Amino acid sequence: MSRPISAPRGTRDLLPEDGHAWSRVEGIARDLSARYAFDRIETPLFERIELFSRGLGESSDAVEKEMFRVSGAAGSEEERAEWALRPEPTAGIVRAYLEHGMHVRPGPQRLWLIGPMFRYDRPQAGRYRQFVQWDVEVIGDPGPMVDAEIIELGQRFYTESGVRDVVAYLNSIGDGECRPAYRAALIDYFSAHDDRLTDDSRRRLRVNPLRVLDDKELDPELAAGAPRAIDHLCDACRAHFTSVQALLDDLGVHYEIDHRLVRGLDYYTRTTFEFYVAGRRGQQQALGGGGRYDGLAELLGGPSTPGIGFGIGIDRTVIAAEEQGVSSGALALLVAVVAADPDALAPRLRAAGTLRDAGLRVRADGTSRKLGKQLESAAKLGARWAVIVGPTSDGTVILRDLVASEQRELPLSEVAAAIGRG
């Protein structure tokens, strides 16, 4: 026998026992997307590498270390890797927005998707190489009202998912006007304390000094004394940030300012935020994050267009809900269709169809086992009721309560109503 093949490292199979919890959380995301008047968009799972290197920044971890490269068939023109699996959805969505001239459509575009993202990172609990994000983007709205609306949407998602104590950590990292002075202040400060930086931070200081603040191993004392972005904001960025906070206060959204929250990608401007369960701010514990990206469309060769969005991790939301003991709700009762006559296959399928028409969850037993065996296995599968169909198609069946072990004869058309009454 040959060796069994296992799933690639850092990926997970979604098994039936987890499917219901996933569907519940994804369902809430879909429902909220509709209630907040977002329209669905889908973009390819792979894009040109250049889209990510230009959009996210050459020095971002996603591009520098974690890109999953995709090459074409052997011998094809694209044999050398030209594409990468998407590490995040925003660059692809803004690419599609520009490519399809969506700016001429009325109003800011409000777009959502749920789908897999790929990062070639070291796998561990809560960090996978393939994971699912719910993503929303508003393109063409400079804010600040929409900033607050998006953060409130994230909070509402966790509330409806049953995940308690979620805090939105918030910062503003300025824009092209004020960020250069902030960068310079960070370079001055950290260069003076070069000996206390990790090797990684020393490198970050050269290529993207804001990201030193992102270094989880940064000496806490050094971090506490670092220049703060909000002290370097220009008047317009400060006014924007003040309004976002006032709107969140008004809505009663639980947020805290975090001066180290810079996010890892180059495209962010002004408002940045991440969601965590209070007191659980470890590296693999961010439940979601996002921010404003007013410069991204231009980086991708389009006209200057403001935008804001978030990516919420579905894997981590499901894990957090489980850890907090949130029930994923009961599945609809299961009905099994069985028959004593081994040849009565068509009547089973017909009866199953009628019951499904009535909205019931039905599985039909297509085996030629003895009736008793079929009933036993229906009970093992969790069926509450069995519908025993006879060889004739006069419309009469036996409805058996598998818990109470009671049964009675009735017309098939009355089964759904009888089950509804218990």
Which region among 213-221, 313-321, 333-341, 370-378 touches ligand AMP (by CB under 6 A)?
A: 313-321
Choose between 248 and 287: whose C-beta lies nearer to ligand AMP: 287
Q: How many residues does the chain have?
A: 422
The encoded tokens of residue 257 equal 């300012």
Asked if residue 311 binds ligand AMP (CB under 6 A), the reply is: yes
Amino acid making up residue 192: A
Asked if residue 131 binds ligand AMP (CB under 6 A), the reply is: yes
Amino acid making up residue 382: G
Asked if residue 315 binds ligand AMP (CB under 6 A), the reply is: yes
The Cα 407–Cα 385 span in angstroms is 10
Choose between 83 and 275: whose C-beta lies nearer to ligand AMP: 275
Choose between 130 and 374: whose C-beta lies nearer to ligand AMP: 130
The residues near 192 (Cβ < 8 Å, ≥ 6 apart) are none
Asked if residue 291 binds ligand AMP (CB under 6 A), the reply is: no
| Strand pairing report for 39-40 and 46-48 | unpaired
Window 74 to 93, contacts with ligand AMP (CB under 6 A) = 88
Asked if residue 38 binds ligand AMP (CB under 6 A), the reply is: no
280 within 8 A of 171, measured Cβ to Cβ:
no
The encoded tokens of residue 180 equal 């250069």
Choose between 88 and 149: whose C-beta lies nearer to ligand AMP: 88
Longest dimension (CA), the chain: 90
Asked if residue 128 binds ligand AMP (CB under 6 A), the reply is: yes
Asked if residue 313 binds ligand AMP (CB under 6 A), the reply is: yes
Min CB(153)–ligand AMP separation in Å: 15
Asked if residue 158 binds ligand AMP (CB under 6 A), the reply is: no
Asked if residue 121 binds ligand AMP (CB under 6 A), the reply is: yes
Min CB(373)–ligand AMP separation in Å: 44
Of 84, 168, 277, 286, the one binding ligand AMP (CB under 6 A) is: 286
Per-residue binding string, ligand AMP, 362-401, x by CB under 6 A, is: ----------------------------------------
Using DSSP's 3-state secondary structure scheme, residue 344 falls into coil
Q: Of 228, 222, 168, 160, give the one whose Cα is nearest residue 194.
A: 222
Asked if residue 268 binds ligand AMP (CB under 6 A), the reply is: no
Asked if residue 119 binds ligand AMP (CB under 6 A), the reply is: yes
Min CB(308)–ligand AMP separation in Å: 14
Amino acid making up residue 392: T
The residues near 360 (Cβ < 8 Å, ≥ 6 apart) are 332, 333, 335, 415, 416, 419
The Cα 235–Cα 416 span in angstroms is 66
Asked if residue 127 binds ligand AMP (CB under 6 A), the reply is: yes
Q: How many residues line the site for ligand AMP (CB under 6 A)?
A: 15
If you ran DSSP here, which 8-state letter would residue 331 be given? P
Of 209, 289, 291, 306, the one binding ligand AMP (CB under 6 A) is: 289
| Planar angle of CA 136, 142, 144, nearest 5 degrees | 85
Q: Of 268, 179, 185, give the one whose Cα is nearest residue 225.
A: 185
If you ran DSSP here, which 8-state letter would residue 397 be given? E
Asked if residue 133 binds ligand AMP (CB under 6 A), the reply is: yes
Positions touching ligand AMP (CB under 6 A) are: 88, 119, 121, 127-128, 131, 133, 286-289, 311, 313, 315-316
